[in-house]
Amino acid sequence: MKKIITISRQFGSGGRAIGKAVAEKLGIPCYDKEIIERVAESSGLSRDYIEATGEYSTHRTWLGRALSTTHAAGTLNNEDLIWVEQRKLILNLAEKGACVIVGRCADYILKNRSDVLSVFIHADDKSRAERIVRLYGERAEKPEKRLKDKDKRRSAYYKYYTETEWGVASNYHISLDSGALGIEKCVEIIACAYGDSE
Amino acid sequence: MKKIITISRQFGSGGRAIGKAVAEKLGIPCYDKEIIERVAESSGLSRDYIEATGEYSTHRTWLGRALSTTHAAGTLNNEDLIWVEQRKLILNLAEKGACVIVGRCADYILKNRSDVLSVFIHADDKSRAERIVRLYGERAEKPEKRLKDKDKRRSAYYKYYTETEWGVASNYHISLDSGALGIEKCVEIIACAYGDSE
């Protein structure tokens, strides 16, 4: 029986909404923004800063991140500190019981547990662009550019801290195209997979 | 409503068995070995040759394939001929009505149709190694080596003819880990997605 669902998602794919709806359907908690609150509390860093750097690299490639001069040898910078705190928190949440965890490399952090169902949500650029404009409004930057930039930085963050490729099907139990399937169908599929899987 | 299901799969992931079971559950035909028969008929090449080269590159990288000296400029070699015949056949099968098509880049060949549900099946190396030994018996070559080799050649074939990466989540509507979920659960999920999707 799977207890914990981790949801990784492309920006604008509706992964967060799917996570919430799955949790509601299954009657278990969903951790998303709550993680930011708690890491802010334990690290003493601001919520905005954690939201901006807790799963987005400040560089657009993992190599840029790796070669960053803000890192002195053998020291932790603020991004590393957030990673360490988030990791501890996610390990603790998983110990507490059944839940959904959105983003923050939870799939990787919990990969040694056998009771995790790891999900990746993606969608075509057109659906995602429409979604981010509907949810977050227009910006000076075109939505396609915002998608590309966020995905690049999420991917670089993931690769830097996990040494694994983001968005490769074989790294997840289930990957779903929310643009083609629709949000509700994704929720149904995840609940079905969670149901009585081994 | 989706009418056609294409199943791409890692070698040993049970994708073929899943395709057959889904087709049976939905009461629609499943095309797999039948494609080999028909291409043999229309091309005049042998079944064994088509099975060996109809979705496996004779090279382990797409670049090796692209630089192959068996290709004279502007001519089709036997592999290209099979590709052309398979493609025609798959386009015709899709016109005929609801069905499941296993392998042979059908997801790419039918990508302009809006009634296709494209699925990718993968599994961890251990589950796949056990499966190929159970189904195809022991060979001189270790199962892990057989898996790696087949995957590389399938991936090279796919990339050469479609210019798209094989096994990247965002290229499929659904990707499933049959090792973690089990064959039956995969069948259930695909049938659920097919059911009343837009």
Total length of chain B: 198
The full DSSP string for B134-151 is HHH---SS-HHHHHHHHH
Parallel/antiparallel/unpaired status of strands B174-177 and A174-177: antiparallel
- How much is the ipTM here? 0.84
The pLDDT score that the predictor gives to residue A69 is 60
Mean predicted confidence (pLDDT) in B41-56: 80
How do residues A147-188 score in pLDDT, each as one tens digit? 888 888 888 888 888 888 888 888 899 999 999 999 999 999
The pLDDT score that the predictor gives to residue A70 is 59
The pLDDT score that the predictor gives to residue A71 is 58
Q: What is the Cα B134 distance to its own chain's centre?
A: 21
Mean predicted confidence (pLDDT) in B63-75: 63
How do residues B149-160 score in pLDDT, each as one tens digit? 888 888 888 888
Determine how many CB atoms are found less than 10 A away from the CB of residue A60. 15
Structure token pair of residue A125: 């650029």
The pLDDT score that the predictor gives to residue A165 is 82
Q: What is the Cα B73 distance to its own chain's centre?
A: 28
Mean predicted confidence (pLDDT) in B13-33: 95
Q: Give dist(CA B163, CA B161) in Å, integer.
A: 6
Find all residues with CB under 8 Å of A185, minimum gap 6, and list them.
Answer: B192, B193, B197
Q: Give dist(CA A46, CA A41) in Å, integer.
A: 9
When pLDDT is cut at 50, 70 and 90, the band that residue A17 belongs to is very high
Decide if B191 touches A, using CB distance below 8 A: no
CB A109 within 8 A of CB A90: yes
Q: Is the pLDDT of residue A65 over 70?
A: no
Give the residue from B156, B172, B123, B153 showing the smallest Cα distance to B8.
B172
In chain B, residues with a C-beta closer than 8 Å to the C-beta of A198 are 182
CB B120 to CB A169 under 8 A? yes
Decide if A11 touches B, using CB distance below 8 A: no
For chain B, give the mean pLDDT.
86
A-B Cβ pairs (cutoff 8 Å, strict): 76
The pLDDT score that the predictor gives to residue B77 is 75
The pLDDT score that the predictor gives to residue A161 is 82
Q: Is the pLDDT of residue A86 over 80?
A: yes
Q: Is the pLDDT of residue B115 over 80?
A: yes
Q: Is the pLDDT of residue A198 over 50?
A: no
Exposure on the CB side of residue B8, measured as CA atoms within 13 A: 31
Of A27-41, A45-59, A65-79, B122-136, give the lowest mean pLDDT range: A65-79
Structure token pair of residue A186: 């994704």
When pLDDT is cut at 50, 70 and 90, the band that residue B94 belongs to is very high
Residue to substitute from B177, B186, B192, B196, interface A, most A β-carbons within 10 A: B177
How do residues A105-162 score in pLDDT, each as one tens digit? 899 999 999 999 999 999 999 999 999 899 888 888 888 888 888 888 888 888 888 8
Comparison of pLDDT for A157 and A27, the residue scoring more: A27
pTM: 0.86
Nearest Cβ partner for B173 among A10, A120, A181: A181
When pLDDT is cut at 50, 70 and 90, the band that residue B173 belongs to is very high
The pLDDT score that the predictor gives to residue A73 is 63
Decide if A192 touches B, using CB distance below 8 A: yes
Q: Is the pLDDT of residue B40 over 90?
A: no
Decide if B169 touches A, using CB distance below 8 A: yes
In chain B, residues with a C-beta closer than 8 Å to the C-beta of A9 are none
CB A56 within 8 A of CB A150: yes
